[in-house]
Amino acid sequence: MINSAMLDDLAARIGRAIEASPAKDIEKNVKALLQGALARLDVVPRAEFDLQLQVLRRTREKLEALEGRVAALEAAAIEASGAGAAGRVADDLPAD
C-alpha cells in the first residue's frame, strides 16, 4: 500500500526532475510569452477599472441632475413667457 511518505518522496523526485528538465525552460518561456502578449494588450488593472466605473457613475448622476434642472428652468421660462404674452394680449383687447 502507498503511504503519504512515499507520495511526498515521489512528488519531490518529480519536482527535481522537472527543474532539471527542459520542462522548466518551457514554463519560463510560456510565462515570458504570456507577459509579453498581455503587455501589448490595452488592459488596465481591476482596481483602476473599478475606480473609473465609480467616477463614471457619479458623473452620470450629476448629468441627470443637471438635465432635470435645465428642464425645470426651461419649463419655468416657457411659463413666464407665456404669462407675459397673455398679459400683453389682454392689454391689447378693447375694454367693454
46-88 pLDDT, tens digit per residue, is 999 999 999 999 999 999 999 999 999 999 999 988 865 555 5
Same domain, 53 and 35: no
Same-domain pairing of 60 and 74: yes
**Residue with C-alpha cell 526532475?**
17
Q: Are residues 54 and 38 in the same domain?
A: no
pTM above 0.75, yes or no: no
Residues 23, 62: one domain? no
Kindly state whether residues 35 and 59 are assigned to the same domain. no
Question: Where is average pLDDT lowest: 21-25, 70-74, 91-95?
Answer: 91-95
Task: Measure the CA–CA gap between 45 and 51, rounded to whole angstroms.
Answer: 10
Task: With cut-offs at 50, 70 and 90, classify the pLDDT of residue 24.
Answer: low
Domain assignment of residue 33, given as a range: 1-43
Burial (CB < 10 A; 0-12, 13-18, 19+), residue 83, is exposed
> Do 33 and 60 belong together in one domain?
no
pLDDT at 8: 79
What's the whole-number average pLDDT of the chain?
80
Q: Number of folded domains in the chain? A: 2
Do residues 22 and 61 both lie within one domain? Answer: no
